[in-house]
């Protein structure tokens, strides 16, 4: 049976790179986004794609949109209005919607540093630079870990738009390695996880590419 994947924040930069890979693998996609016109028209108009305009804080609408999906891939960035990302509220709404729609599998994009796992001077710099964003992302991850869902939390290093797939993976409890990774690498890992559901277990993956020789990463 064709796998149906619901992507939240589907106009996000990693999500837009994952979508063609997933379509190539023969999956049906539900693309949930507040501004779906940001998604390329050839993806929006693909016969295997259903587009839903919505905010993840609309829990009931979200539950309807994801019903029947085998996996939810959340590629969200909390709003920075008032300098206060609402990532925790987003995590709570996604968990509630998934339980209501009886969808149990979640892939959640988070950040390096949520477990204070980045060693050394770089770890100190990351903590200070991200500040309250990291605190919010850590709290959102806790919501997911305590949800009872079958989850994978991905903790990418600082993101670049380099056209390369190169990464190392660390597990929760291990020191983070490296400093940056391309969005294409993260999209590739997400697609691989979705395409190999038998390997899916509750876990948290740090994804990074040691060394740097290209585009300078920035958070937003």
Ligand X SMILES: NC(=O)c1ccc[n+]([C@@H]2O[C@H](COP(=O)([O-])OP(=O)(O)OC[C@H]3O[C@@H](n4cnc5c(N)ncnc54)[C@H](OP(=O)(O)O)[C@@H]3O)[C@@H](O)[C@H]2O)c1
- Name the residues that contact ligand X, by CB under 6 A: 8-9, 11-15, 33-35, 38, 55-57, 75-77, 79, 90, 109, 111-112, 156, 158-159, 183, 217, 219
- Shorter beta-carbon distance to ligand X: residue 47 or 213: 213
- Shorter beta-carbon distance to ligand X: residue 87 or 147: 87
Cα 159 to Cα 83: distance, rounded to the nearest angstrom? 21
Neighbour-count burial of 93, counting CB atoms closer than 10 A to its CB (0-12 exposed, 13-18 middle, 19+ buried): buried
CB of 186 to ligand X, least distance (A): 8
Cα 206 to Cα 112: distance, rounded to the nearest angstrom? 7
Chain position carrying tokens 């509220």? 89
- Shorter beta-carbon distance to ligand X: residue 47 or 145: 145
Which residue's beta carbon is nearest to the bound ligand X? 12
Cα 211 to Cα 56: distance, rounded to the nearest angstrom? 35
Beta strand 150-156 with 49-53: parallel, antiparallel or unpaired? unpaired
- Shorter beta-carbon distance to ligand X: residue 23 or 94: 94
Cα 70 to Cα 197: distance, rounded to the nearest angstrom? 9
CB of 85 to ligand X, least distance (A): 8
Cα 80 to Cα 61: distance, rounded to the nearest angstrom? 23
CB of 158 to ligand X, least distance (A): 4
39, 102, 157, 191, 196 from 15: Cα distances, Å: 10, 23, 16, 10, 18
CB of 84 to ligand X, least distance (A): 13
- Shorter beta-carbon distance to ligand X: residue 26 or 125: 125
CB of 1 to ligand X, least distance (A): 27
């Amino acid at each position: 049976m064709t796998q149906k994947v619901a992507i939240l924040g589907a106009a996000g930069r990693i999500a837009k790179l994952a979508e063609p890979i997933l379509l190539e693998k023969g999956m049906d996609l539900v693309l949930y986004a507040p501004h779906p016109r940001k998604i390329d028209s050839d993806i929006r108009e693909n016969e295997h794609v259903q587009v839903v305009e919505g905010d993840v804080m609309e829990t009931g609408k979200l539950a309807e949109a994801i019903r029947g999906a085998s996996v939810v891939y959340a590629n969200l960035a909390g709003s920075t209005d008032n300098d206060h990302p609402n990532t925790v509220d987003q995590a709570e709404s996604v968990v509630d919607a998934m339980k209501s729609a009886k969808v149990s599998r979640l892939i959640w994009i988070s950040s390096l540093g949520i477990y204070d796992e980045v060693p050394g001077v770089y770890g100190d710099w990351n903590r200070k630079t991200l500040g309250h964003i990291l605190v919010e992302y850590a709290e959102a991850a806790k919501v997911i870990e305590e949800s009872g869902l079958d989850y994978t939390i991905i903790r990418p290093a600082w993101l670049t738009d380099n056209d390369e797939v190169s990464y190392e993976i660390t597990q929760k409890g291990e020191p983070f390695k490296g400093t940056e990774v391309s969005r294409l690498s993260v999209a590739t890992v997400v697609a691989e996880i979705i395409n190999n559901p038998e390997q899916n277990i509750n876990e948290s993956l740090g994804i990074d590419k040691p060394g740097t020789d290209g585009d300078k990463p920035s958070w937003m």
